Amino acid sequence: MKAKNDPLPLASVTLMKSVALRLFAERGIDGVTLRQIAEALGSRNHSALTYHFGSKEALIRELIVDGAMQIDSRRNAALDRANATGGPHSVLEVMEILVETSIDPDPPAWGECYNRFVVGLQVSNRALFMDALAGCWNSGYQRCLDAVRKLKPDVPADILNQRLVFMGGAISGILAGRETELADKSRDHPMWSHPQTLHRVAEALAAIVDG
């Protein structure tokens, strides 16, 4: 959070978060210190990070909320557009919304990191992740699930809910894997960079839900 009369430009705070997110995504939250983040920013002094965020945990919490808010905003906007034309019209359309809105439309030069960050965090410290969200910034996801339920009225609720849980785990893992592969600049990744890949991910998720 930017403090009043803070001399550091907002762009610098944004860069701090972006670099921290990359390191947490690559190494996990337990594998990164504030000092290492400062060094990655070209400084040996981590006081600016402490000044802005207070602690490593506070920085992690802010990164969780920042990404969740952006994804939720994109999802709700996409659902509003679909609703305006009487949709979503199919489970595949809902899955495409979920996939497309999970992708950062303006990633930093080193690529997307949020999905890897979140998946790793949920493995190592799910309690911190859930507490940071505090039940917020998930309305778009819940609207997507409600849309699926309306599209699948003949599937028993317990079975459909189980499929939706499977789908939720699959989308996180697939997109985190995609980020990991695309972050590797040592070689090309034609499967993951193919223009149809995200659509095919949505098709696979729809198959889980449709059964």
CATH superfamily, domain at 63-210: Tetracycline Repressor, domain 2 (1.10.357.10)
pLDDT in the model for residue 2: 41
| Euclidean distance between CA atoms 37 and 57, whole angstroms | 13
pLDDT at 109: 87
Can you give the pLDDT at residue 44? 72
Alpha-carbon distances of 29 from 32, 34, 73, 173, rounded to whole Å = 6, 11, 26, 18
> How far is the C-alpha of 34 from the C-alpha of 59, rounded, in Å?
9
Give dist(CA 90, CA 76) in Å, integer.
17
pLDDT tens series, the chain, 211 aa: 344 444 445 558 899 999 999 999 999 999 999 999 999 988 877 788 888 899 999 999 999 999 999 999 999 999 999 999 999 999 999 999 999 999 999 998 889 999 999 999 999 999 999 999 999 999 999 999 999 999 999 999 999 999 999 999 999 999 999 999 999 999 999 999 999 999 999 999 999 999 9
Residues 6+ apart with CB under 8 A from 35: 44, 46
Whole-angstrom distance, CA of residue 210 vs CA of residue 166 = 12
Whole-number Å distance between alpha carbons of 166 and 169: 5
pLDDT at 9: 52
Q: What is the model's pTM?
A: 0.90
Q: How many Cα atoms occupy the beta-carbon half-sphere of 159 within 13 Å? A: 9
- Parse the chain into domains and list their residue ranges: 63-210
